[in-house]
Amino acid sequence: MNVQTVKETENAAWAGAAPLLSVVMPFFRYDPTPLLRRLDEEARTTGGAVEILVLDDGGGDALLTERVAAAVASMGAPARLIALSANEGRAKGRNRLVARARARHILLIDCDMDPDASDFLRRYLSVVRQDVAVAFGGFSVDRADDGPQFALHRALQRRAECLPIAARLQTPKKYVYTSNLLVRRDVFAAEAFDEGFVGWGWEDTEWGMRVAARFGVLQIDNPATHLGLDTADVLAGKYEQSVRNFARVVQRHPETIRHYPSFRLARMLKRLPLLGVWRAVLKQAALQPHGPLIARVFAMKIYRAALYADVV
């Protein structure tokens, strides 16, 4: 078993800062420096109101860690890098970042996001001054790579997650994604991320269920673009590794999850004869690069539910 080692470095602006907003960003084998530069460009003009913390979650890429450390050192806003020797996972990593942040309000953002507005942080600072408990800004894929290899992931996100403010306001508690989410510190004190989630998927959804029920969610118009789209085969692999996490959500929130389309469909597919054969067929259809996109989207959604059928 590897012993975890933690190395923390701060830039010159870190000491003595008293921020109103802490931006926290984990990364794992993905270069976060473009987002760091983008955030710093605005944060350095806020008079120390914004600090930025970034976590290298044991990616094992020494050159990338050095590049991020250099970027942090050059930033004008208060900034800190936490580098881990071994991967902790998305839930534990976020808990670590929150524990090291100093502001009352914390902005969770993924390293593959790109804010759409030039006043992205100022919009959140205005919400901070209202002392809101939880606020979601939304996200899109409008400026993401439009290559055909990402067409399936782009289409899936547009249909389910990349919704405008008007649509999110209809069911505000449903949309709690940690890709672009403002959270007050006491919310984390009451509801931390469940570190029993391992690998990819569902840890933010499960956390969002608890948070939305206790604190509500304010939906605001402050989106960021998700740049890190996956190819179809990578996306299928993530769905496959998410099965155990989905089972954990089912166990912890049976009354809530039963209303989710993925759960209802999984229950239906559970009764299907030769489900293993159907799973293989569905996956092949979803991965077919020259197939009709609408058919591939349908196949991938059914494939994910077929995976979950084993745990419902």
pLDDT for residue 197:
86
CB-facing half-sphere around the CA of 204: CA atoms within 13 A:
19
Please give the CATH number for the structural domain made up of 6-229.
Answer: 3.90.550.10
- Name residue, tokens 């993924």: 110
**Residues in CB range of 101: below 8 A, 6 or more apart:** 22, 24, 51, 53, 185
CB-facing half-sphere around the CA of 58: CA atoms within 13 A:
13
- The b-or-e profile of 275-287 (16+ CB within 10 A means b, else e) is eeebbeebbebbb
So where are the chain's domains?
6-229, 232-312
Query: Cα–Cα distance between 262 and 258 in angstroms, integer?
Result: 9
The number of beta carbons lying within 10 Å of the beta carbon of residue 88 is: 20
pLDDT for residue 288:
95
Query: Cα–Cα distance between 15 and 20 in angstroms, integer?
Result: 15
Structure tokens at 160: 């389910």
Question: Measured at the alpha carbon of residue 33, what is the angle toward residues 76 and 138, in degrees to the nearest 5?
Answer: 95
pLDDT for residue 101:
96
pLDDT for residue 1:
57
**How are strands ordered across the β-sheet holding 134-136?**
6-10, 79-84, 50-56, 21-27, 105-109, 180-184, 134-136, 218-219
Question: Measured at the alpha carbon of residue 200, what is the angle toward residues 227 and 38, in degrees to the nearest 5?
Answer: 30
Question: Which run of H or E residues covers position 256?
Answer: helix 254-257
pLDDT for residue 40:
98
The number of beta carbons lying within 10 Å of the beta carbon of residue 163 is: 21
Chunked mean pLDDT (size 10), the chain, 312 residues: 85 96 96 97 96 95 95 97 90 91 97 96 97 95 92 93 91 89 95 87 89 94 95 97 95 92 94 93 96 96 96 94
Q: In sequence order, what are the beta bridge partners of 225? A: 114, 140
On the 0-12 / 13-18 / 19+ scale of CB atoms within 10 A, 130 is exposed
pLDDT for residue 2:
67
Treating both helix axes as pointing N-terminal to C-terminal, what angle do 243-252 and 232-241 enclose, rounded to 10 degrees? 40
Pair type for strands 134-136 and 218-219: parallel
pLDDT for residue 175:
87
Query: Cα–Cα distance between 173 and 291 in angstroms, integer?
Result: 35
